[in-house]
Structure 1
Amino acid sequence: MRSRIDDPIRPGAGRLPFATLVRAVALVALGLLVLAAATRPGLAAGATPSLRGDVVVSGDVVRFGDLVADAPADAAATPVFHAPALGAIGTIQVARILMTAQALGIEGVATAGREEVTVTRAARRVGQDAIAAALAAQVAEAAGLPAHEIEIAFDGTPPTLLVAPDVAEPVAIADLAYDPATRRFSGAAYIGPHAAERRAQAPVSGVARRVVEVAVLVREIPRGEAVSASDYRIERRPVELTPADARLDALALEERVARRTLTAGAALRQGDLERPMLVSRNDVVLMLYERGALTLTLRGRARQAGARGDVIDVENPVSERILQAEVIGPGTVRVGPAFAGRVAALAQ
């Protein structure tokens, strides 16, 4: 919806509220304009003032030069109308602009047949994501939790803040009230250097839920197959509904395979995974002993299955002696220094 913004700016009048577009705008005191016109040099030869068309302004006033091109410098800098509210659109009747030009001593402004000009006040919209992040940080501090574990759900329509494009201050929260039992919050989101100097503000209320990230499978994983990052998407779920071993930060995927067939859409749990067996029971394995330049190897038979890092019993089929060895690869085990003498004896 557009509003008229072509009421005159009168001498001694205070600045009009931005939200009241129909009251905002107009000409600078007629006497001052006439005086300025009387002392201004004429237009440069060949320069014909003309309407710029629909315009966008960043300040809280519309200057003559915002509306009319090729105006003398002092006239172009003259504030003539109040701008609409931040992010709003207003209209100015061309007849009003021509009256202003005449008061400034400028004749013959080309209008191209237009009857009104649209003025848009530039603004930067700060959305719910930035406001929710500021709220999550403050609620997390109050609750003694990491900010990334707080998810904000606003009551009703999520709030937004409008500020001038050059305003760089981050969103801040004032008067926060938070109830850990119900997890409800209320307060005010604002942008400004200090709470007492707010450039924009909006009341906020809602629920601050604690959530954790989980890995949700996007495809079926057959038993024995490894899970990679492309096999799941990350979702945030309420912590009270999430098993401890389903939290993303609790998952260890390296050198893990599916313990059983895992279905798409299920949350991945650490219990769904196991380390792949590199040695099976009764496998013939290579026993390896290394010490400095000395390397001893011997074939043996695994008495147990094992994954990487497991210590299993290995039997020499000839002597039937049993020793312990660490699984270090497919079909390969390492015998520690304590067993060096036994390995050397078995190798003879």
Structure 2
Amino acid sequence: MRWFPLLLLALLLPASAAQAQLSGAQLSGLRARVVVEGDTIHLGDLFEDAENGSRALGPAPMPGRRITVEMPQLLAIARTYGVAWRPFSAEERVVIERPGRPLPREEWFEPLRNALIALGMDPDAEVDIPGFAAPMVPPDSLPRVTVEQPSLDENRFAATIAVEADGMPALRLRVAGRVSATVPVAVATRRMSLGEVVKASDVRVQRVRVERSRPGLADDAVLVVGQQLRRPIGEGMPFAVRDLGAPVLIEKNSTVVMVVESNGLTLTAQGRAMADAPRGGIVSVMNLSSRQIVEAQAISPGRVRVGPPPPNQR
């Protein structure tokens, strides 16, 4: 390489000789690691005490990236701009970094989503972009995001995401992926045990891909709240309609008051429920005095009505 003889000479000469060869100038130091805030690299970013350190050398790395200036490049730059510097080894280099932050998902995803909706995508569809990494922008910038040339073919899409921000060149990122239809599903917000009655805070409705759903799942909190679980359910699991039922008002083998209403008279007797029953449910009850089994309707906790309901409740 052309720089090798000069490097060898610089390494062999004593410091005083090297300084004399550089017209007696004080040697500049090398900055091993540099963080630049702007979009331009200056001479002073590489060399300490450079007389014309404000001299622009070229573009800085993109936000969040780094570049390495190796010794041959440093030597060429020093000679070109008259910097009194000599390398002490072939391993000398300068690493230039530029701070950045990833563009938040909502800032690039929402414009893309709106562009796809304008092309006919279902607003509730799920958008999947495999392998996409959010672009980096300067930390304090206010990026402007636009979507160019979007296309949608059934469940496949493509588009170009253009990102502009002060202090960096415009970025254009080509993205492609697929859209998937979704359906609402009611899921548990906590682990619940057999027999618990579902409260409003126990359920949330979220959308899942159609292929991840199955028939018989509750799709609305109204179908779940107030119902009693017929089997346990884990947090985040969907509620199946067949695993829900009206809360048990009368428990099997419990003692109940049997109420008979006729001609304005109300008669009561003790009985034993032969099965569970929800409010308004029909249950077989054994009269504890006569041992006769009759059909009764659960009307309140521990209370059943034998016979037809009063006219005003029919």
Q: Which amino acid aligns with 2:37?
A: S
- Superposed counterparts of 1:227-238, under 5 Å: 237-238=208-209
The aligned residue for residue 278 of structure 1 is 249
CA distance in structure 1 between the partners assigned to 2:182 and 2:169 by the alignment = 31
- Superposed counterparts of 1:1-348, under 5 Å: 50-69=29-48, 75-86=52-63, 87-93=65-71, 94-96=74-76, 98-99=78-79, 102=82, 115-126=92-103, 131-132=108-109, 134-140=111-117, 142-143=119-120, 145-146=122-123, 149-154=124-129, 157-158=131-132, 160-169=134-143, 171-179=145-153, 182-192=154-164, 199-212=170-183, 214=185, 223-226=194-197, 237-239=208-210, 242-243=213-214, 246=217, 249-250=220-221, 252-260=223-231, 267-280=238-251, 284=256, 307=278, 310=280, 327=300, 330-331=301-302
1:204 shift after superposition: 2.0
1:258 shift after superposition: 2.2
Change in CA separation of 1:142 and 1:259 when aligned onto 2, cut-off 3 Å: farther
Q: Is there any run of 5+ residues in structure 2 with no aligned partner, and where?
A: 1-25, 260-266, 288-295, 305-309
CA distance in structure 1 between the partners assigned to 2:88 and 2:245 by the alignment = 78
**Preserved contact between residue 250 and residue 270 of structure 1 (Cα < 8 Å):** no
CA distance in structure 2 between the partners assigned to 1:248 and 1:331 by the alignment = 33
Deviations 1:207-243 (A, max 9, x none): 1112246467899976434568999999864226634
Q: Which amino acid aligns with 1:256?
A: Q
1:116 shift after superposition: 2.2
1:263 shift after superposition: 9.1
Q: Which amino acid aligns with 1:175?
A: Q
Q: Which amino acid aligns with 2:93?
A: E
Q: SS of the residue aligned with 1:50?
A: coil
Change in CA separation of 1:69 and 1:275 when aligned onto 2, cut-off 3 Å: farther
1:244 shift after superposition: 6.4
Q: Which amino acid aligns with 2:36?
A: V
Percent identity over the alignment is: 26
For the aligned residue pairs, the C-alpha RMSD in angstroms reads 5.6
CA distance in structure 1 between the partners assigned to 2:126 and 2:145 by the alignment = 17
Change in CA separation of 1:101 and 1:203 when aligned onto 2, cut-off 3 Å: closer
CA distance in structure 2 between the partners assigned to 1:96 and 1:168 by the alignment = 37
**Preserved contact between residue 154 and residue 204 of structure 1 (Cα < 8 Å):** yes
Q: SS of the residue aligned with 2:181?
A: strand
Q: Count the aligned residue pairs.
A: 261
TM-score normalised according to structure 1 size: 0.52
CA distance in structure 2 between the partners assigned to 1:51 and 1:235 by the alignment = 57
Change in CA separation of 1:162 and 1:261 when aligned onto 2, cut-off 3 Å: closer
**Preserved contact between residue 160 and residue 172 of structure 2 (Cα < 8 Å):** yes
1:187 shift after superposition: 1.7
**Preserved contact between residue 212 and residue 237 of structure 1 (Cα < 8 Å):** yes
1:131 shift after superposition: 4.7
TM-score normalised according to structure 2 size: 0.56
Q: SS of the residue aligned with 1:278?
A: strand
1:186 shift after superposition: 1.9
Q: Which amino acid aligns with 1:185?
A: F
CA distance in structure 2 between the partners assigned to 1:286 and 1:80 by the alignment = 97
Q: SS of the residue aligned with 1:167?
A: coil
**Preserved contact between residue 257 and residue 275 of structure 1 (Cα < 8 Å):** yes
Change in CA separation of 1:221 and 1:84 when aligned onto 2, cut-off 3 Å: closer
1:307 shift after superposition: 3.8
Deviations 1:65-105 (A, max 9, x none): 32344667xx44332343245524131534345446746xx
The aligned residue for residue 36 of structure 1 is none
Q: Is there any run of 5+ residues in structure 1 with no aligned partner, and where?
A: 1-46, 288-297, 318-322, 334-338, 342-348
CA distance in structure 2 between the partners assigned to 1:257 and 1:172 by the alignment = 50
